[in-house]
Structure 1
Amino acid sequence: MSEIEKYDLIIIGGGIAGYSAALKASQALSVAVIEAKKIGGTCLNVGCIPTKAYRQLIMEYKNGNSFFKNDTRLFTREKLADVFEEKINCSVSGLHDGLMQALKKNSIDVYQGKAILADDKMVVVKNDSGEEKRLEYQFLLIATGAKPVVPSVFANEYSNVFTTDKAFVKSNLIPKSIVIVGGGIIGVEFASFLADFGATTIIIEREDHILKKSFSVEVSQTVTKILRKKGVKIYTDCEVVGIEEEDDETIVRIQKRTSPIRSDTEEILTDKVLLSIGREPDLDNQLIQGLSVNVRDGAIVIDEYLKTSNPKVYAAGDVCGGIQLAYTAEYQGEMAALNVMSSVMGEGKIHNGKVGMVPSCIYMNPEIASVGVKETDPDKCFAAKYSLKGNGMAIIENSDDGYVKLIFDQHSGELVGAELVCSHAVEMISLCKEWIEMRKTANDISNSIFPHPSLTEAFKEAAILYLKEVGTGEIPS
């Protein structure tokens, strides 16, 4: 029998929630991380990082920049796939190596393999070779993340159909044509990238408009217009009812959800099919049941302090359902770690892990970002929308098709929401979030100093629009 290693905290799952918790807890506790696949989880290995690296590569290819040496004609489709794969892997591996060094520097032990519950204070890690290691814990944190949702119509394996977890396999990188099933944030991002690259791109969305769960109707309409301008075809209120592969091509059969005739379908011929319908908590049912942890709607139930129904077990990140974003998972992981530290050290201080206001972002061209109130009630709020046609930096960057919309409370003049459609929107939205939390008013924003020329000057102009229309505060001359 192997020697038993003892830890204050064992974390099952080495994604962003797990490793963030480990780094925080290691300040005072002995910590181990168990990861079945690869440290870094979805975000680092198959999600955020490779997706944005992919976007950057397509932009550089399109503009003839960097290693493309201003002559994209030299690159065959196969050569491009090689280059893209190499560059994406380079970005991922560099960050992965840095993360592993950080874990080692903080004396965090990493175990590769599957976590199996032995009893109420011990887990066994079993690796691919069948070797086992016994670990004893005082507290457990479950941070196993989420996995792609795969509809039953795609239950069989198809060579040209893949989820976002497989999007960066070489054979999927450079499609001639693609059908994207799902018009949420990830589906829209991929549609934008691939359309910019020249692929014939189609989105199939079962709702009546894209981005329905994440953004306002106006943002949806704006993004729809942008995508169609790029050549993307969008089918709404439709679902895939059949799929068939013939040689190197795939036939996708779709149908209007409201169609009374089941045979009333349309066929789409495509090179590849990307499933981007969403993600669901990745639960190890045997482990969860053994720990007597409550589950609701497929997600681990936690209280506001990230504690489960088992007082020795915490959970954080996508495995808990709710908002599935890397930065919310990171926050929850750190708060859970602080609460475990408090329990182990007997401090009695607990930290609320409830996720507050979170920005929503789309990394496309132009970028889209929003925070706070999305749809406005005219009796309560006023939306001041400033077109970037009058912004110097937007004109210089040739990106003046977008806008900045600030939403103010009608009575107090406080900022309560923002929508940005412009380059650098993802960076700019954090400023809006801070203003909302600090209860800044239109008057405060209009009297602020912004660099010139800059896109942030649009904030001042939007605030002035509000003051002119509503007639409160002092309007800068």
Structure 2
Amino acid sequence: MADTKFDVIVVGSGPGGYVAAIRAAQLGLKSAIVEREHLGGICLNWGCIPTKALLRTADIYRNIQHAAGYGIKVDQASVDLEATVKRSRQVAAQLSGGVSGLLKKNKVTVLMGKGRLAGSKTVEVEADGKKTAYSADHIILATGARARTLPGMEPDGKFIWSYKEALVPDTTPKRLLVVGSGAIGIEFASFFNALGSEVTVVEVMERVLPVEDADISALAEKSFKKQGMKILKGTTVTELKKSASEVTATFKDSKDKTSTASFDRVIMAVGIVGNVEDIGLEGTKIKVDRTHIEVDEYSRTGEPGVYAIGDLTGPPWLAHKASHEGVICVEKIAGLKDVHPLEPKNIPGCTYCHPQVASVGLTEEEAKKTGKELKVGKFPFIGNGKAIALGEPEGLIKTIFDAKTGELLGAHMIGAEVTELIQGYGIAKTLETTEVELMHTVFPHPTLSEMMHESVLDAYGKVIHI
């Protein structure tokens, strides 16, 4: 008979869940993980990873179109959409298989089926119509989240897409509407725009990428428009009317003026909601706020022995945040000393559109609200030799410091490879580095990273190359 008693059971195998289960096993805890569909969860199978595979195709195609500028002649390049999607799915499958291997290597028991709380220290797993009860002193809920839908505009798999349909498109739409300009919406807008779609992006807020610093949002919008995207800010979609061959959208702007336009496909990217349904929360002391479970700094819920991590617990909805929460949660369970709570303002965020966007910490607007005197530095890509050599002179790096203490409050970037550069500032924030250490750090030349140095110097009136 299969073993049904564990120290830790994790429900959900996304980047929060599988990392938590592996770390628990490393710490000598007997651990199991429950997964209803794909190991690796949404991120590996339908999110972070396959979207980056698609965007890589878009980057290569974009570079080929500009090959003449680099002295390379290319004739009649085109995109094979079916092959592009196939590669993306292969990448996802490879990584999902990798998670399976990691769980096996660390002796984590995998329970395929739908898991739910079923009384004190018990998880019930349903598979093939059969229910089995498993017990554990510690149960970690990592069931993630799903795309938010709007009444009357639910994805139908044909004309109206969620991120899932957008990842396996059967066509490159001639006219595409993207509703929402957060990371997910803008990444898909960037992908299909590169492939030749006429892309319209609608955003209810007054700027695109609304969680980013205002300077970065402004530069992003300027670049998107230059690439041919149409941006409608301060606008809502009030209706989507489907015909046999297209969708007609009705828009209402901030002055209540309405207009209509027709599209071949619509991508809905208006946020996410936590998967709190049918996981056994009824009758527990677990509190749910707007579809997200409330937890303390160590991921403990109101129910003894039950924890929640990742997208299930609210923003920021990021895979790396979920993974880190999983490690902190398990290390606290195992009784390790010096387990530090996660500091949200030290979590970098990345958007893989073209140009890339990345940030960590407070925006200038948020920093001003603290009442602190600020030192703000900016450095443009056009002032950097490596950026010019790459043919990527478009972009900006911005840093924000507390003028009194020199604390790095925030860093914001737009341009080539900034999703890789941002980690430098992430380390700086974790180490509580001031402007002095950053100024004294020697950055290699020629690199894009030199702009990080120059941005810090600019905040203190010491910039060299502008």
* Same structural fold, with TM-score higher than 0.5 when normalized by the shorter chain: yes
- Cα distance per residue 1:320-356 (max 9 Å; x no partner): 11311111000111111112223xxxx7876535544
Q: Is the 8 A contact 1:153 1:241 kept in 2?
A: no
Verify: 1:192 aligned to 2:227, yes or no.
no
Secondary structure of 1:152's match?
A: coil
* Partner residue in 1 for 2:119: 119
Verify: 1:250 aligned to 2:247, yes or no.
yes
For 1:146 and 1:183, locate their aligned partners in 2 and report how far apart those are by CA, in whole Å. Answer: 19
Q: Is the 8 A contact 1:299 1:319 kept in 2?
A: yes
* Partner residue in 2 for 1:21: 20
For 2:157 and 2:56, locate their aligned partners in 1 and report how far apart those are by CA, in whole Å. Answer: 29
Q: Is the 8 A contact 1:306 1:316 kept in 2?
A: yes
Q: 1:158 to 1:48 in 2, by over 3 A?
A: closer
Matches for 1:31-430 after TM superposition, within 5 Å? 31-64=31-64, 73=76, 80-127=80-127, 129-155=128-154, 157=156, 159-171=158-170, 174-212=172-210, 214-259=211-256, 264-285=257-278, 287-342=280-335, 352-353=341-342, 355-375=344-364, 377=368, 380-430=373-423
Secondary structure of 2:21's match?
A: helix
- Cα distance per residue 1:171-227 (max 9 Å; x no partner): 26x222210000112212222222122110001111111222x11111111111010
For 1:355 and 1:100, locate their aligned partners in 2 and report how far apart those are by CA, in whole Å. Answer: 29
Q: 1:204 to 1:268 in 2, by over 3 A?
A: same
- Cα distance per residue 1:58-112 (max 9 Å; x no partner): 22233349xxxx978475x7xx222012100111111111110110111111122
Q: 1:354 to 1:413 in 2, by over 3 A?
A: closer
For 1:9 and 1:379, locate their aligned partners in 2 and report how far apart those are by CA, in whole Å. Answer: 44
State the 1:228 CA deviation.
0.2
Q: 1:156 to 1:391 in 2, by over 3 A?
A: closer
For 1:61 and 1:215, locate their aligned partners in 2 and report how far apart those are by CA, in whole Å. Answer: 27
Paired amino acid for 1:427: E
For 2:329 and 2:407, locate their aligned partners in 1 and report how far apart those are by CA, in whole Å. Answer: 33
Paired amino acid for 1:32: A
Q: For structure 1, which segment, 331-340 or 147-156, has the greater mean C-alpha deviation from structure 2 after superposition? A: 147-156
State the 1:388 CA deviation.
2.1
State the 1:442 CA deviation.
3.4
Q: 1:137 to 1:461 in 2, by over 3 A?
A: closer
Secondary structure of 1:20's match?
A: helix
Paired amino acid for 1:325: L
Q: Is the 8 A contact 2:357 2:414 kept in 1?
A: yes
Identity %: 29
For 2:394 and 2:386, locate their aligned partners in 1 and report how far apart those are by CA, in whole Å. Answer: 12
State the 1:144 CA deviation.
0.3
Q: 1:60 to 1:401 in 2, by over 3 A?
A: closer
State the 1:432 CA deviation.
1.3
Q: 1:60 to 1:124 in 2, by over 3 A?
A: same
For 1:8 and 1:339, locate their aligned partners in 2 and report how far apart those are by CA, in whole Å. Answer: 14
For 2:42 and 2:153, locate their aligned partners in 1 and report how far apart those are by CA, in whole Å. Answer: 22
Q: For structure 1, which segment, 52-61 or 444-453, has the greater mean C-alpha deviation from structure 2 after superposition? A: 444-453
Normalising by structure 2, what TM-score?
A: 0.90
Q: 1:61 to 1:287 in 2, by over 3 A?
A: same
Aligned residues: 454
Normalising by structure 1, what TM-score?
A: 0.88
Paired amino acid for 1:253: T
* Partner residue in 2 for 1:7: 6
Q: Which runs of 4+ in 1 moved over 4 A?
A: 70-75, 347-351
Q: 1:442 to 1:29 in 2, by over 3 A?
A: closer
Q: For structure 1, which segment, 293-302 or 15-24, has the greater mean C-alpha deviation from structure 2 after superposition? A: 293-302
- Cα distance per residue 1:221-272 (max 9 Å; x no partner): 111101000111011111111112222221111112441xxxx532211111
Secondary structure of 2:238's match?
A: strand
Q: 1:461 to 1:469 in 2, by over 3 A?
A: closer
Q: 1:437 to 1:336 in 2, by over 3 A?
A: closer
Q: Is the 8 A contact 1:415 1:439 kept in 2?
A: yes
State the 1:434 CA deviation.
2.0
Q: 1:315 to 1:441 in 2, by over 3 A?
A: closer
Q: 1:251 to 1:71 in 2, by over 3 A?
A: farther
Unaligned runs of 5+ in 1: none
Q: 1:107 to 1:241 in 2, by over 3 A?
A: same
Unaligned runs of 5+ in 2: 66-72
State the 1:9 CA deviation.
1.0
